[in-house]
Amino acid sequence: MNPRIVDWQGKRVWIVGASSGIGRATASALHARGAIVHVSARDAQALRDFADRHPGALVVPLDATERLQVPDAARQVLRGGPLDLVMYCAGHYRPMRATSFDLAQALRHQEVNYVGALHVLDAVLPSLLARGGHVSLVASVAGYRGLPNSLAYGPTKAALIQLAQTLHLDLHTMGIGVSVINPGFVETPLTAQNRFRMPALLTPQQAAEAILRGWERGRFEIHFPRRFTLWLKLLRLLPFGTYEKLVLRWTGL
């Protein structure tokens, strides 16, 4: 569904949300394959540590929720030439249920997980439309259907999934790649907050390899690990009443 990226040597990549977890591991994997990697996040020290370990990586500190920062960061990245791939991986997660609703936290999820992606799209779409490239949004299987503890997080990931679908409808005929990444459980600082058993838990490095395989095969949706995500896809097809009973039984709630 997308143009395949089979040779990363010299490809110019911008990863927003690269200070830890999936974003950092993906940046490292791309660097190892010869890509020119630009890394952005709020944690400038973590980015500098990454650059020290990955010579040639370019550091562009950025808070994607700050609208005025993003165009300046994009201009800095694009100064070296058009981008072959932009990955939005910035994320925020706090477990939340309706019995402990926190408006400030809900809005923070929206700003980081979704609005930040819009800011980046606004900054890079003119270049993509003029010269081609690929944009990839990191969502989550939590965006498939409602899940316990995901009152703030899940809706933002559902929004990213639909955003990617609509972008693909608009851009694929122009040869511009669009992909959405829907991981299951990955061992990151965000999932470390969970106090339940996380089935099929992956390392960030395993997630990065799955993402690169997806890009190299031209996939629109990159979901992993399939032994877990395929079950969730099947559950998504059930009537809500049946789905709800199964999820509550599975989670013990």
Q: Is 243 a catalytic residue?
A: no
CA angle 56, 71, 88 (to 5 degrees): 65
Nearest to 230 by CA among 162, 182, 164: 182
DSSP letters for the chain: --------TT-EEEEES-SSHHHHHHHHHHHHTT-EEEEE-S-HHHHHHHHHHSTT-EE----TTSTTHHHHHHHHHHTT---SEEEE-------B-GGG--HHHHHHHIIIIIIHHHHHHHHHHHHHHHH--EEEEE--GGGTS--TTBTTHHHHHHHHHHHHHHHHHHHGGGT-EEEEEEE--B-STTGGG--S--TT-B-HHHHHHHHHHHHHTT-SEEEE-HHHHHHHHHHHTS-HHHHHHHHHHHHT-
Nearest residue to 23 via CA among 39, 7, 1: 39
Catalytic choice (88, 114, 144, 153): 153
Supply the residues annotated as catalytic. 153
